[in-house]
Amino acid sequence: MCGIVGYIGGEQAAPVLLEGLSKLEYRGYDSAGVAVYNESGMHVVKSKGRLAVLEGILDKGEKLPGTVGIGHTRWATHGAPSDVNSHPQVSDGGLFAVVHNGIIENYMQLKEHLMRRGVEFVSDTDTEVVAQMLEHYYRGDVLAAIRQVTQRVEGSYALGIICADCPEKVFAVRKDSPLIVGLSEGQNFIASDVTAILAHTREIVRLRDREIAVLTREGAEFYDEELEPLEKPAETIEWDVAAAEKGGYEHFMMKEICEQPEALLKTISPRIKDGRIVLDDLKLTRADIEKISRVYIVACGTSYHVGAVAKYAFEKLLRMPIETDVASEFRYRDPILDDKTLVIIISQSGETADTLAALREARRQGARTLAIVNVVGSTIANEADDVLYTWAGPEIAVASTKAYSTQLAVIYLIALYMARELGTLTEQELEEYTKALEKLPELAEAALSGRETIQYFASQYFNAKDMYFIGRNVDYAASLEASLKLKEISYIHSEAYTGGELKHGPISLIEEGTLVIALCTCGRLFGKMAANIREVKARGAVVLGLCTEEFAGEMKGVADWQFCVPKVPDFMLPSMSILPLQLFAYYVASMKGCDIDKPRNLAKSVTVE
Ligand code: AGP
């Protein structure tokens, strides 16, 4: 996600900003920029590409004098990576420079409102709206202008602001995206996280939602959204830089597992307005949808496992035949595609070679293509007919977690959107499922709350040589992903089987002490899965049973261990069951001393065939 740094003090701002931004590079970005105020006014220098490009332009900051400034590394969400879409974004009259982390959900309405009043926009970003609104509402008091803006803006934001009319101050505002103030003698800072300013101070103040900070060289003042003064205590950071980059977590993977509720919120919330699913970015019209006779879902690895869940969701909601395929097989089996085929391509990186090749094959045969991608402006995103982004923020750990969860959320959004257009669901069903989707972020938080239980269970079995995951229907689809997570970071051999398939061969693998994790969250098949648990236990297996609360009692009677997840509509259950199983894989790998964020032999994005 984006990185923000701000400075006011006695030193030259540009070198401090560039150094702070370099500490935020790990967050992933595609462009960078700074705004510095000096006696000749406000100067903004920004460019697409790595921070090194900006450092070169600024000669590491030497070429831009001034002791007040803000800086930004951009992880694109709205508007592809480019110089003009980089931050800081500047208002029409040059009064305000703004850096932003988050998503302004109603930016189009606000932009149209200002354009009708003659405001000229230059970028495709949502952030520019903030800079333009500040100038539009400014009547000599920056705080009052900020209040006007925050009362109208919907979405998530961490904002750093400087004003040419008020050069002795740096302003900071936050809602849903983290932002901190760093305090030091004669100089003060703002930053997205502590790593950017640890070299200068360990005294920080965390802004809470809708709080505003006003920094001068002497100190910082804090206000609530009504501009009432706030007293806010400082805290001393004990972390070292390495720990701070991971937000205090030991590994990026755990940080990203725990970010899933927030990532789900950012992916779902902008796409449900007044209980109705709105996919602004989708060019697929009702006529296009009605023309579709077949849907393929094509991807690799974890993204393919999202397709395995999507098959159940689409067939249940759309009553339409769905084929899923691993991308590396897709084009070599001469698929039969035409202009009535919709090919959904799923990719976190948007650069996976096999998946890109599958996309190109689909387009070559005239199929309609829709990509679900996390990296804005990536090759797959640019080449597909339509793209829907998962706003998970950059996923640093090789093992995919929050991308999987947000890809699932986008699948549910598409399936419900298409079901509404095709009329395959009643209004009541649509309302029920849409409400369930809106609740997913908070239920994910609940599903992640039992970390200690999972950690203890992992401590009992991290030396296992084999582990088997079994499930039926959507639980089988989730088993595929759970098994891959365990394999790729703990190096323990693992397989996923449908519960009903055990008796056709795999059950011969079960012996005394074999660990089997049975996913039984699909209530209507609980009895079948209970029978499968008895089958493997009769041959000596130790079984962890995953189920929803309503089956907790019965599960106690069949499995050795059980873990409950919140109940959601069946096709959404993998969004719940995968969470404890991501934690399980993490703890097993951690107890084995594996390199969790960078497992052996693996790359984050496989850009070769
Ligand atoms: C999953 O944990 C792995 N990192 C891998 O399977 C990954 O999902 C696969 O390589 C596809 O990557 P993509 O989503 O970026 O296309």
* pLDDT reading at 601 higher than 90: no
Per-residue confidence (pLDDT) for residue 284, from 0 to 100: 87
Per-residue confidence (pLDDT) for residue 243, from 0 to 100: 64
> pLDDT tens-digit profile of 420-471?
999 999 999 999 999 999 999 999 999 999 899 999 999 999 999 999 999 9
Q: How confident is the model at residue 603 (pLDDT cuts 50, 70, 90)?
A: confident
Mutation pick for ligand 1 pocket among 298, 348, 578, 598 (CB with most ligand atoms within 8 Å): 348
* pLDDT reading at 240 higher than 80: no
Whether the bond into 65 is cis, omega within 30 of 0 = no
Nearest to 13 by CA among 62, 51, 57, 75: 62
Per-residue confidence (pLDDT) for residue 247, from 0 to 100: 77
253 alpha carbon – ligand 1 mean position (Å) = 14
384 alpha carbon – ligand 1 mean position (Å) = 18
52 alpha carbon – ligand 1 mean position (Å) = 28
User: Could you give the 3-state DSSP secondary structure of residue 145?
Assistant: helix
Per-residue confidence (pLDDT) for residue 76, from 0 to 100: 84
Q: Is 569 exposed, middle or buried (0-12, 13-18, 19+ CB in 10 A)?
A: middle
* pLDDT reading at 356 higher than 90: yes
Catalytic residue list contains 300: no
253/183 Cα distance (integer angstroms): 30
Per-residue confidence (pLDDT) for residue 445, from 0 to 100: 97
Catalytic residue among 60, 316, 598, 604: 604
346 alpha carbon – ligand 1 mean position (Å) = 10
Closest residue CA from atom 5 of ligand 1 = 301
Which amino acid, 146? I
350/436 Cα distance (integer angstroms): 28
Does the Cβ of 399 fall within 6 Å of ligand 1?
A: yes
Mutation pick for ligand 1 pocket among 253, 257, 297, 300 (CB with most ligand atoms within 8 Å): 300
Specify the range with the lowest mean pLDDT, choosing from 151-155, 174-178, 250-254.
174-178
Segment 594-600 long-range contacts (CB within 8 Å, at least 24 positions apart): 594/489, 594/490, 594/491, 596/251, 596/253, 596/254, 596/397, 596/399, 596/489, 597/251, 597/252, 597/253, 597/396, 597/397, 597/398, 598/398, 599/398, 599/399, 599/488, 599/489, 599/491, 600/491
Per-residue confidence (pLDDT) for residue 244, from 0 to 100: 64
134 alpha carbon – ligand 1 mean position (Å) = 41
Closest residue CA from atom 3 of ligand 1 = 399
Q: How confident is the model at residue 77 (pLDDT cuts 50, 70, 90)?
A: confident
Task: Give, in order, the Cα–Cα distances in Å from 90 to each of 16, 47, 134, 146, 583.
Answer: 21, 14, 10, 15, 43
Over residues 21-43, the mean pLDDT reads: 92
187 alpha carbon – ligand 1 mean position (Å) = 44
Interhelix angle 107-115/128-137, rounded to 10 degrees, is 50
Does the Cβ of 488 fall within 6 Å of ligand 1?
A: yes
> pLDDT tens-digit profile of 529-582?
999 999 999 999 999 999 999 999 999 999 999 999 999 999 999 999 999 999
Mutation pick for ligand 1 pocket among 252, 303, 488, 607 (CB with most ligand atoms within 8 Å): 303
> pLDDT tens-digit profile of 123-170?
999 999 999 999 999 999 999 999 999 999 999 899 999 999 999 999
The H-assigned helical ranges of 153-212 are none
* pLDDT reading at 609 higher than 80: no
Closest residue CA from atom 6 of ligand 1 = 301
* Pairing verdict, β 68-74 and 31-38: antiparallel
Per-residue confidence (pLDDT) for residue 608, from 0 to 100: 72
Catalytic residue among 2, 258, 522, 547: 2
> pLDDT tens-digit profile of 371-427?
999 987 788 998 999 999 999 988 889 999 999 999 999 999 999 999 999 999 999
301 alpha carbon – ligand 1 mean position (Å) = 5
Does the Cβ of 260 fall within 6 Å of ligand 1?
A: no
Catalytic residue list contains 2: yes
Which amino acid, 330? F
Bridge partners of 90? 97
Residues 107/100, Cβ–Cβ less than 8 Å: no
Does the Cβ of 400 fall within 6 Å of ligand 1?
A: yes
Lookup: tokens for 16: 């401090």
Mutation pick for ligand 1 pocket among 400, 494, 578, 596 (CB with most ligand atoms within 8 Å): 400
b (16+ CB within 10 A) / e for 246-256: bbeeebbbbbb
> pLDDT tens-digit profile of 474-495?
999 999 999 999 999 999 999 9
Average predicted confidence (pLDDT) for the chain: 94
Does the Cβ of 605 fall within 6 Å of ligand 1?
A: yes
Per-residue confidence (pLDDT) for residue 239, from 0 to 100: 66
* pLDDT reading at 246 higher than 90: no
Over residues 296-324, the mean pLDDT reads: 96
506 alpha carbon – ligand 1 mean position (Å) = 27
**Percent of all residues in the chain with a pLDDT value above 70, rounded to a whole number:** 99
Over residues 109-127, the mean pLDDT reads: 95
Over residues 20-49, the mean pLDDT reads: 92
Does the Cβ of 606 fall within 6 Å of ligand 1?
A: yes
Per-residue confidence (pLDDT) for residue 377, from 0 to 100: 74
Closest residue CA from atom 9 of ligand 1 = 301
Furthest-apart CA atoms within the chain: distance in Å: 81
15/10 Cα distance (integer angstroms): 12
